[in-house]
């Protein structure tokens, strides 16, 4: 079955993993790139009769100032609510429930790349978008897709929107 839409590159192979383990991990962050990755993962989960584990990891914001200043830490519950509401919106937009694909949502605190690799340790695939929240953030944190491609123990699918 040929697919139209985003281009996907698979890195790795599945010979070390049992077929039919039934879990595809997909990372989201609210960006357009992660929306394409989620839609691709939904289609793939349907083809494989697999479940999705949707991951939106988060970190406390980094504040850099030239003067010593006290900035109270953000409320963890507010950050978690924001992560959950973004995940719910993206899940609805991707039509996950309508596709009949079973799914779970994880919102761990931590750097996205390491968290997704950790959660995908027993997965058939790890799916991420090729572009995330922006070039400045990518410079500060490093590329999540690059991290996943180099550290995951399962095949990694990098989904890039078509031009």
From the list 89, 131, 88, 114, the residue with the least C-alpha distance to 25 is: 114
What 3-state DSSP class applies to 90?
A: helix
| Residue 7 belongs to some domain of the structure | no
From CA 59, how far away is CA 18, in angstroms rounded?
33
Does 6 reside within a domain? no
In a domain, residue 10? The reply is no
The tens-digit pLDDT sequence of the chain (163 residues) is: 445 455 555 666 554 444 544 899 999 999 998 999 999 999 999 999 999 999 999 988 777 778 888 778 788 999 999 999 999 999 999 999 999 999 999 999 999 999 999 999 999 999 998 764 555 554 443 488 889 989 999 999 999 876 5
Structure tokens of 19? Answer: 């077929």
The β-bridge relationship of strands 125-129 and 156-160 is parallel
In a domain, 4, yes or no: no
Q: Is residue 103 part of a domain?
A: yes
d(CA 98, CA 75): 34
Split into its structural domains, the chain has a count of: 1
The CATH number of residue 41's host domain is: 3.40.50.620
Domain assignment of residue 16, yes or no? no
Domain limits at 151?
22-60+73-159
Q: What is the pLDDT of residues 58-79, one digit of tens each?
A: 988 777 778 888 778 788 999 9
**Does residue 146 fall inside a structural domain?**
yes
């Amino acid at each position: 079955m040929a697919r139209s839409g985003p281009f996907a590159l698979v890195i790795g192979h599945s010979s070390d993993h049992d077929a039919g383990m039934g879990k595809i991990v997909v990372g989201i962050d609210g960006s357009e790139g992660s929306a394409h990755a989620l839609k691709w993962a939904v289609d793939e989960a349907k083809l494989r009769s697999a479940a999705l584990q949707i991951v939106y990891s988060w970190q406390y914001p980094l504040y850099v100032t030239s003067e010593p200043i006290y900035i109270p830490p953000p409320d963890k519950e507010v950050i978690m609510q924001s992560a959950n509401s973004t995940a719910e919106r993206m899940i609805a937009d991707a039509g996950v429930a309508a596709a009949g694909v079973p799914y779970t949502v994880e919102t761990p605190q931590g750097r996205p790349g390491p968290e997704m690799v950790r959660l995908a340790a027993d997965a058939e695939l790890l799916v991420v978008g090729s572009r995330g929240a922006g070039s400045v953030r990518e410079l500060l944190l490093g590329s999540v897709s690059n991290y996943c491609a180099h550290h995951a123990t399962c095949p990694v699918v990098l989904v890039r929107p078509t031009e």
